Amino acid sequence: MQDPADKFEGLAEEIARRAKAAGLTVAAAESLTTGAISNALGAAPEASEWLRGGVVAYATEVKRGLLGVTAEKVASAQCARELAEGVARAATRTPTCR
């Protein structure tokens, strides 16, 4: 069985190149792709230097509770924006591990 992230490999490598060149970090919020994008980003060159992480929010309750989605329809441009904003907030917090 082929890894579903394979189809994102070229794109992930381009994101890696651009993020490093611009001094940016990247985080991903996913739903229907169920982690394939985060998987591909994590396999890209020097991911530990620019990849902050990812959240797979498949269930509506997770989208709303964890990432703050308020969009009535979870398959909408508004939901996509709110997923991105939610994962950006989460990825820029300083975590406390105990």
pLDDT in tens, the chain (98 residues): 788 778 889 999 999 999 999 999 999 999 999 999 999 999 999 999 999 999 999 999 999 999 999 999 999 999 999 999 999 999 998 666 55
* pTM attached to this predicted model: 0.86
- 13 within domain boundaries: yes
Residue 98 maps to a domain: no
At 79, which CATH number?
3.90.950.20
Residue 28 tokens read as 């991903």
Q: Which pLDDT score is estimated for 53?
A: 96
d(CA 88, CA 82): 10
Query: Is 46 contained in some domain?
Result: yes
Report how far residue 31's alpha carbon sits from residue 67's, in angstroms, rounded to the nearest whole number: 12
**Which residue range is the domain that position 65 belongs to?**
4-92
Q: DSSP readout, 29-55?
A: EESTTTTHHHHHHHHSTTHHHHEEEEE
